[in-house]
Structure 1
């Protein structure tokens, strides 16, 4: 078993509750001090002259997010455990920032993981309080991460698929956060089912996955509205957004469908 997998247990415990909440109830942040909010930063490499393909960047973000969570340093007793446990036990938020050139190189020294898909690169960082974010990160812009939509073709067989809601428009940065949530929920479901062998094989495949936007009919067939039966019958988990940015609270943004990775 991946030694850090139990760190996802609080996420699994809250998953069904999240899906049953009314939209507005997930948006109440009246008890928060802005500097105390804990975030996982995602740094998207978007060079001015050669920007990446949007789908490749999203697939890199999805893999990088999970790789940080399941890093062995997040296991009990590891140097990352306290930070990861605090984040997963609270409101799970990510924020995407863009970087290029020297600024991209500077964030490689911060604790986290960089993943590349067909040259598109994302570095997911260890979650931290807003007040503790280093200058290498805070100087990066959140806006300006938009990329043109591309047509990646049919999803390859033997990869988990992250289906984006075809009726919801999101920036590349927002979508990167959502697919990062999706891989975390998939991993938590697998661990909760006792399928740690499947999780190990996914780890060996570098958490590869496919990000696709389905036809509405496909989305509707997978989005049954019953989280328990969706997972049991279709191996599908849903990401339900809290509505902090861009979209309405309660929106299902991603349906994550587990398929055993082919090595």
Structure 2
């Protein structure tokens, strides 16, 4: 069973999968867990926004589906504990020496179009190494870019066109999207995606397309007919609780 099975049980209860609770209690502050996502953002040569988000989305999923996260693997206990709770991510920016130091901690680095992001193995926030904790969370933003149309054969993560998010916030949300999407796929579909290195496209759709794809009150129908799932934010930062930040579509 995939380490992502708890996500499918919570976010797609219509599948009839076993889940003790679909609404999880809030953890005590000292037990809050999160996945650090490190964005490589050199001041002199910052990356483009879209490829950086795509790298972050792929990296978060790659950690979860790495062989080291499988039962018996060195990451399994940490990843399983995190996925079984709230899948929080904390995005931080790094440059120069700090980026190189981040490579020394367990995780996966992904490069897309020259942009780099590294997702680390999740754990308790209070246990984040000082080398990672010192990296800035605020100020991680980039100007909008104009990517080409998304390839038809890649899963696509659509950012809410009516909600402003910094690149740090958006990187966490698209990471949620790839994880939830992967949790619902068949073994064959997941294997096919794995062969492509879990590559994905991140785009901002028109308001009309967003409304057309939005699951609304029928998440099961949206998945079965359009292969779309929604990422609904808890509202800890930047957006109101319950805001749908991303629509993830498997194509």
**TM-score, normalised on structure 2?**
0.93
Equivalences for 1:146-161 in 2 at 5 Å? Answer: 146-161=141-156
Counterpart-to-counterpart distance in 2, 1:228 and 1:198: 18
SS in 1 for 2:237: coil
Residue 246 (structure 2) aligns with: 254
Counterpart-to-counterpart distance in 1, 2:161 and 2:33: 30
- CA shift, 1:69, in A, is 0.3
Contact kept? 2:215, 2:229, Cα under 8 Å:
no
Counterpart-to-counterpart distance in 2, 1:197 and 1:251: 32
Counterpart-to-counterpart distance in 2, 1:224 and 1:10: 21
- CA shift, 1:224, in A, is 3.2
Residue 223 (structure 1) aligns with: 214
Residue 44 (structure 1) aligns with: 39
SS in 1 for 2:136: coil
Counterpart-to-counterpart distance in 2, 1:36 and 1:201: 36
Contact kept? 1:27, 1:244, Cα under 8 Å:
no
**TM-score, normalised on structure 1?**
0.89
The one of the two structures with greater contact order (alpha-carbon pairs below 8 A, sep at least 6) is 1
Residue 85 (structure 2) aligns with: 90
Counterpart-to-counterpart distance in 2, 1:258 and 1:161: 7
2:205 matches 1:214:
yes
SS in 2 for 1:163: strand
Equivalences for 1:166-181 in 2 at 5 Å? Answer: 166-181=161-176
Equivalences for 1:236-251 in 2 at 5 Å? Answer: 236-251=228-243
- CA shift, 1:32, in A, is 3.5
Gaps of 5+ in 1: 18-25
Contact kept? 1:58, 1:172, Cα under 8 Å:
yes
Q: Which runs of 4+ in 1 moved over 4 A?
A: 26-29
Residue 22 (structure 1) aligns with: none
- CA shift, 1:132, in A, is 1.3
Residues 141, 231 of structure 1: alpha-carbon distance in 2 compared, 3 angstrom cutoff: same
Aligned-residue Cα RMSD (Å) equals: 1.6
2:5 matches 1:9:
yes
